[in-house]
Structure 1
């Protein structure tokens, strides 16, 4: 690859050329470059012809050998030489004839033969790197996830094909939006389309995102928080970390946002994106009011090539806010509610996708979600408990009452946290009161020692969050946006006190409340705990008692968690806990412990966002969240894809507290509306409340702040007025109803077939990894359980000198359990294993290290000798990587497609072969290599030209058509939207101009502003349409010659192992295939011959049939034809690997006497069924004894089939 030019530097070859012109005549003559003498007797045409297509080393001009494509004299014995680098990139330089002659003299007449094993490794490395071209679901194959139909359709049909993604994914909760985002970013990374990715999420979800991306996709994201920003050393953390996650409430802070918005991103993902809101303020001069979250996402979107917004609640019942939300994709395109409705309801819209949970199915059309039963568990506080409840409520309203100005937001949140802890448990509120009293008491001591001015300044800061917190109290965030650290900071450090005397009075009151709490505690078990014990006696918990079931208990506070853990252990239950104070590794261990050993897991709210517990179907909400949407998110921990049993959820409500009465009333009303909402009660609870004008959390807070009978009755009445019809009406009016999509199972099945058959088999990836490791001296051991172990990863593979380490992450220093197979990693005993694949940091680092060494050894573009056991005459295989490129919106080139192809040159001419063709060949012995024909530059040039015309050009045309279609669709949407804006602005200008003309100068400014807006709209329209035109630009890119194989027939064709691998005549093979196809049709199957595709799938026929339940059944069939009535058959490595991969879904059909009296023998799962199969050493392949075939063949009516 040519050296990259540094900014401001001139090419070395140009410097060299200029330097030569300054030499004296004598020096010039020493180089043999005097004008007439140079070319006398040697025609220029002769030099040009001899140089063309030659691989030469032009010392001083390029660091590596280049292939000469064109030579043109430009005077004074100097030539302009156009060349192509090993990576296919074109280049040129000026050179003296004497230099060119010297380079030609040094160049070998034909490419020097290189080690066949080295060429194999080089080509295999490139083939794996380009495997996405053949596997339509490459990221699914390479990651630790099982792609479900709706996830595959969203990523591979709606998002990935878009060259400039601007998309809202609005599926119901639990559909796996995190998985879909991960698949998208993994696929884009594997294709080299993105390097820098930013994920913005609510604070409690940042760790979950980090865990999921690492565990499922091997992507190591860094969480950027206040610590990195405060201690950055000369470089912004946003620039330093190419894969970054941040809390949206941290990133929106003024001191953080500006730095972030200076950074360019390839892809930005925003989770819970609906929390970024804006609205239009109507009046004489309309203006858009944006929250800080909205302004942040809007700014980041402008810095991102691709934008993905994730939300389960895209609309909040406000058409204007919904329009502004979609405006984050493009404010010009989504400018009015009418346009929004029309565009997202369009079947082919490229911007918005929403699917309902009830409509999601697996590949067999079975519903993904089980039934969910939600029950309310009421209880009453005792007289003593209720007295404490009243006293604490009175304290909160007196000392943390509504505050004006900047301190109001933090004080309101502190009040909410204390009230929620009061509702949680006696232990939680007592601990909070004690900590608050101690902290404020210490604060009083500090204030007493301060000068008056400093004291006043400190007092003024008490109504705000601590300065070192990542949370900003700007009024946007609700209490459920806080993590446990922020909760504690609010409880202990925020107060509405403005004078020292007020602080002293508050501390005195706190100490009284602590004494009161102690008295209540001494009276014995609190009623809520007693209610829990009674609940566990219900019949639904019988499975818990006998060890078959598992129970998840949610509480909002750590003190309550500790309290419950102690009591449940005393009752004899085995218990584990998950909370925000644990590291990700500790939470993962606790989750594993729950699955394997414990009956009950108690989790706090923060940790609850990050755990997936579909093996548990019993759940208790010991504390109910005031934001009902959080309840749905909690239930989603157990009621999720993969759950096999009906879920039972019990919600605890204190019926004699204000918040308990409101919560109980809400849940009763929701249950009453269940039929009207088609059972989707909790899935749509957020939208339902908003559309009915109810902010439930605010309703609870306001009622608690002024708990009069009238206020309580008004709150209950508001809940009872909830109308389910309003939700349906709103969804219809906004186009949401029409925007909902159903999964196209047939399309997904087709993609699955292609992916399963063309995917890079893990056997190939593992074999390459082991061979590369051996060459690079990375010691890999095979464990007794057949997994791999690496006790030490060399520093060289962990160094940032490797690009893979920078962009894929640093490999670990050791790997105790490594596997390439998902099914191994999914086994319970291997949960702690690491799934390795081409996207894994270790695999990527090893591959890059190997490629460096192979390049240094001159392997790329080399030729090697191989043996084809089935060949009767020599032939050549030329291997290439080619690209198709497009343009991004800025006019820069971007990769649109790339793949590795084999061009076979034999007596029939040039034709395409499978990219994995070298797997079917065997490295030649020295004796056989001497028979190999030369791979001349002319042959490589002819193969290159053939590829450009027959393969690259059609692919370029197909990509261009696809992109043009997308560009036209987007342009039509944009034209319509901007024309509507233009008409609206023109109408407004006419009104203002009429008023000004009638003498009302107060409208002159509005008129002029409107005129300016019209002009700006005109310029934006032109710029955006020009950018969209670039999306349709596609052209052929570089073609890189990877290397060539000179293939010879075996030296001992009569050897039994060679003979068994030799293909039968075409007549026999065709007859055998026809026998197999006829049999399949006779049995009611639909066979499709795939052998002509030469795609390395390892079988000849795909045969399918549809079962009565609608599921598809598939056979992959390899056909072997023999002219004789018996005998062994040979399988190539690709076929044997396929047999291992497909197991019971793979069939070997052997047709004896194929052209005379055909006899079909069928063997299901030959890899596991047939004994005595031996690997052939003379050539690459496997011998399958004819006796084994006859002994294990399936005879109709004798043996049952085991279909996958």
Structure 2
């Protein structure tokens, strides 16, 4: 080798401190001022760089000798090959992301991530498995696998506010991924700085991201991957009005490369809405409802996947007779209706409140679509819901409205000018955050349809009278539902068995407060979760996480919760749930049950629904529950409960009852209107398809078992990683002190600059290196039991050492090395080849390492790339054997390995592309037909002379 810059020429390979890898010289040109302009390509990264070098800098470069001399460092060459293999470990371990994550996934999770998401050249997917299926785990696995492939650096997770902390916690605990939880205050505090650009891994709330003042900053950022949890909240809400959440969905679609939508309730019973929702994945592929329905019938729906709980099983276990049996993950759900009747003063209160609500609703309906009328109509139905929940909740609302109207009456002109707040459509109202909904109710309390001050005084007097009636009912301690609750607690053994836990749901915070007080007075240890609580931590009293942890550990027996606990909280330690009031949104029932009916639940889940059978609302809800149970019994399928939201839109019950209160429906019409779509045939059809898209009704367990076994054989074991780190550290240099009493554990010294420099690599997509790492282990169990840093491929410390090793080994790669082999009787040569298949955009689809052995007169043959581990590095002989000068077997390799590799990759891609193309063709055909119809109608209108037809 030489070091004189005068020998620099096109085609030569140079190394030196200026570069972190060997560089091939492509162009050399003197600039005339004593410097040289040199174009170079990295031998590993294949990135082109043009640099201006002085004569002194050129003198510092080393030109590697052309051709293989086999004088390289054999230890370093072998270590470099191992570093390369570990960098593409996901190519030969089908579940590599699992090997370096703290999760033990289930078959349906593996199928979703590895057979659907990662098979797509660009992830654009709706994953709509039932609640409790572990969608957070699947999202985390996708993040890990895309990062390993170098495809995801900037990642955004959008979810309801009450789930944000859970995402942050689970990604840290299970995948060692650190995401920033970005709140409104963080953005305001950094005025003038776009926090979306500053951070690479962000979790934020759906309702923060949708704000008009937030959208411009968000629009400036392009994300590698966006995951939206509870994505059904972004649905387009009819009539044809785009919600702020839907507009956010369009923005996220347009600013992301990979996009994953997660929801357990994708359909919401409205096919047109579902079609618009799917356009958040691809605006062209989903032309209308008919194309989607037809695609599903033909099983050509490549963008979404749904599996019901009933299709989910554990990995099979071998039975004594040699056959395999797969146990279902989810136990049974056994719903029970707890019916009761109200009477006496309680019934009088119900009758009088209902009359008041009907009178106000009819007045509102008479004013059409006036915003004030809509506001009052919504408020009246809300009072009826509060009445069904508890007398206490109703009284608080009545008193609050009376007080607000009295305050307005003192400023009569202000009351008349009081503008109603913008009301979202009923479907969007059903999806509002609890705190946001309470804030809206507070604003609505000041809105009245009274025409003058006397009418306002009349309404206030009626509100005060109703509130006094409610207070008298409370004081009597004879509320029928509360009495029924106490009796049921006795019957189910809660008073006698303090270890038996209960989850009790209600819609309203006021009812929650009321129940907590009553339950404590009966001697129960009680906790609560509601929308006004911050996530907090397991050690911070008064927070959601603290209440959840206390319930799990048995410190509290009864957990009372509002809908804030209906999503994202895992309480499978409990198997009994009371619905103290029935939500008018049927999706809420499934979400509530999903808190206890999930992975890890070992008991059948008992669900008790409280219904007053002599109220209008109670009658229709009881009939709905009975009808669902009848259909469930007829189909013998619990999936009925999973898909109820696909038959009944979220606001269906609300709309029907509001029409009833307004006088548009009579008592006889109410049940017929409510249940018009609830029939066995419709549920049967939906349960059979369950929006599965590509998925089959049953998982391909044989394939999954075989693949899991293959992954076990090929997985990178902790001792392999530890040995690599130990050997590679010597070339940094870095001292890793071995901890004798813990397997595969070491204590590193301070992180040297030689490793820190890799943070500046253009393709570095990991967090910065720590200045010093604590005690580390490559073994997952050891790290978890001893609270150590778990170092695996994908960890910044490991990746920096791997890259440093690859750069160090570059010279050995270009020279070759000699080894002793006990397996060979005569000289042989091993040639290593890196093969990449790239797509039309230049993205690497697959990458593999091939080893070809040449030995004497024998034909070339493929060998395992790990074969060098069986050999010992040796000094080169005085004279190289003839086999060393044989030409490279590129033609043989292409015919015997590379072509098959290419064909395999092409077939994989073609299958996916054909599936997508078939669906897009179906959709575009529908779009063209619709356009033809519109053009034809426009021509007819023009011929008729209709104004504006031109």
- Aligning the two structures, in what range does the TM-score lie when normalised by the shorter sequence? 0.7 to 0.9
| 1:305 counterpart = 2:257 | yes
| 1:379 counterpart = 2:340 | yes
| 1:537 counterpart = 2:490 | yes
Corresponding position of 1:1011: none
Corresponding residue pairs, total: 913
Corresponding position of 1:745: 701
1:278/1:906 CA distance change after superposition, 3 Å: same
1:232-243 correspondence runs (5 A): 232-243=190-201
| 1:897 counterpart = 2:846 | yes
SS in 2 for 1:536: helix
| Residues 799 and 810, structure 1, Cα contact 8 Å, conserved in 2 | no
Higher relative contact order (CA 8 A, sep 6+): 2
1:659/1:338 CA distance change after superposition, 3 Å: closer
SS in 2 for 1:150: helix
Corresponding position of 1:715: 670
| 1:652 counterpart = 2:610 | yes
CA distance in 1, matches of 2:5, 2:144: 56
TM-score by length of 1: 0.64
Corresponding position of 1:642: 600
| 1:959 counterpart = 2:902 | no
SS in 2 for 1:144: coil
1:169 to 127, 130, 133: 127
Corresponding position of 2:322: none
Corresponding position of 1:621: 579
Corresponding position of 1:982: 928
Corresponding position of 1:727: 682
Cα distance per residue 1:639-663 (max 9 Å; x no partner):
2233222111111223344433332
Corresponding position of 1:551: 502
CA distance in 2, matches of 1:805, 1:87: 12
Corresponding position of 1:495: 445
Corresponding position of 1:885: 838
SS in 1 for 2:705: helix
TM-score by length of 2: 0.79
CA distance in 2, matches of 1:292, 1:663: 31
1:809-848 correspondence runs (5 A): 836=790, 838=792, 844-848=795-799
1:850 to 801, 816, 823: 801
Alpha-carbon distance, 1:187 to partner: 1.9
| 1:132 counterpart = 2:90 | yes
Corresponding position of 1:685: 644
Corresponding position of 2:114: 156
| Residues 399 and 495, structure 1, Cα contact 8 Å, conserved in 2 | no
Corresponding position of 1:361: 313
Alpha-carbon distance, 1:628 to partner: 1.5
Alpha-carbon distance, 1:780 to partner: 8.7
Cα distance per residue 1:579-613 (max 9 Å; x no partner):
44142533445434333334433333212311122
Alpha-carbon distance, 1:478 to partner: 3.9
SS in 2 for 1:675: helix
Alpha-carbon distance, 1:885 to partner: 1.9
SS in 1 for 2:608: strand
| Residues 306 and 690, structure 2, Cα contact 8 Å, conserved in 1 | no
Cα distance per residue 1:1145-1168 (max 9 Å; x no partner):
xxxxxxxxxxxxxxxxxxxxxxxx
SS in 1 for 2:559: strand
SS in 2 for 1:1002: coil
Corresponding position of 1:1002: 946
1:265/1:737 CA distance change after superposition, 3 Å: closer
| Residues 300 and 693, structure 2, Cα contact 8 Å, conserved in 1 | no
| Residues 220 and 808, structure 1, Cα contact 8 Å, conserved in 2 | no
Question: Mean Cα displacement is larger for which, 812-821 or 381-390?
Answer: 812-821
CA distance in 2, matches of 1:769, 1:279: 55
CA distance in 1, matches of 2:914, 2:643: 35
Alpha-carbon distance, 1:530 to partner: 2.8
| Residues 798 and 845, structure 1, Cα contact 8 Å, conserved in 2 | no
SS in 2 for 1:306: strand
CA distance in 1, matches of 2:915, 2:775: 49
CA distance in 1, matches of 2:148, 2:230: 26
| 1:179 counterpart = 2:137 | yes
1:940/1:952 CA distance change after superposition, 3 Å: farther
SS in 1 for 2:797: helix
Corresponding position of 1:595: 552
SS in 2 for 1:156: helix
SS in 1 for 2:844: strand
CA distance in 2, matches of 1:771, 1:215: 29
1:605/1:878 CA distance change after superposition, 3 Å: farther
1:597/1:906 CA distance change after superposition, 3 Å: farther
| 1:269 counterpart = 2:215 | no
Alpha-carbon distance, 1:353 to partner: 2.9
1:403-802 correspondence runs (5 A): 405=370, 419-429=384-394, 460=418, 463-464=420-421, 473-475=423-425, 478-497=428-447, 519-524=472-477, 526-539=479-492, 541=493, 545-546=496-497, 549-569=500-520, 571-580=522-531, 581-586=533-538, 587-598=544-555, 599-679=557-637, 680-690=639-649, 695-703=652-660, 705-706=661-662, 711-719=666-674, 721=676, 723-725=678-680, 727=682, 741-742=696-697, 743-765=699-721
SS in 2 for 1:373: strand
Alpha-carbon distance, 1:386 to partner: 4.7
Alpha-carbon distance, 1:535 to partner: 0.9
CA distance in 2, matches of 1:817, 1:702: 67
Corresponding position of 1:335: 287
Corresponding position of 1:1199: none
Cα distance per residue 1:169-225 (max 9 Å; x no partner):
344444344433333333222211223334444454444444444443333444555
CA distance in 2, matches of 1:946, 1:84: 27
| Residues 440 and 493, structure 1, Cα contact 8 Å, conserved in 2 | no
SS in 1 for 2:839: strand
SS in 1 for 2:634: coil
| Residues 166 and 308, structure 1, Cα contact 8 Å, conserved in 2 | yes
CA distance in 2, matches of 1:237, 1:711: 55
CA distance in 2, matches of 1:789, 1:697: 62
SS in 2 for 1:334: coil
Cα distance per residue 1:698-743 (max 9 Å; x no partner):
334454x4589x7444323434555414515875999969976222
CA distance in 1, matches of 2:881, 2:293: 62
Alpha-carbon distance, 1:134 to partner: 1.1
SS in 1 for 2:258: strand
CA distance in 2, matches of 1:787, 1:393: 71
Question: Mean Cα displacement is larger for which, 560-569 or 104-113?
Answer: 104-113
1:497/1:982 CA distance change after superposition, 3 Å: closer
In structure 1, stretches of 5+ residues that fail to align are: 1-30, 34-46, 282-287, 466-472, 1007-1204
SS in 1 for 2:551: helix
SS in 1 for 2:260: strand
Corresponding position of 1:21: none
1:644/1:576 CA distance change after superposition, 3 Å: same
CA distance in 2, matches of 1:792, 1:701: 70
Alpha-carbon distance, 1:695 to partner: 0.7
CA distance in 2, matches of 1:612, 1:416: 32
Alpha-carbon distance, 1:761 to partner: 2.6
SS in 2 for 1:260: helix
| Residues 74 and 818, structure 2, Cα contact 8 Å, conserved in 1 | no
Alpha-carbon distance, 1:619 to partner: 1.5
CA distance in 2, matches of 1:392, 1:806: 65
1:614/1:782 CA distance change after superposition, 3 Å: farther
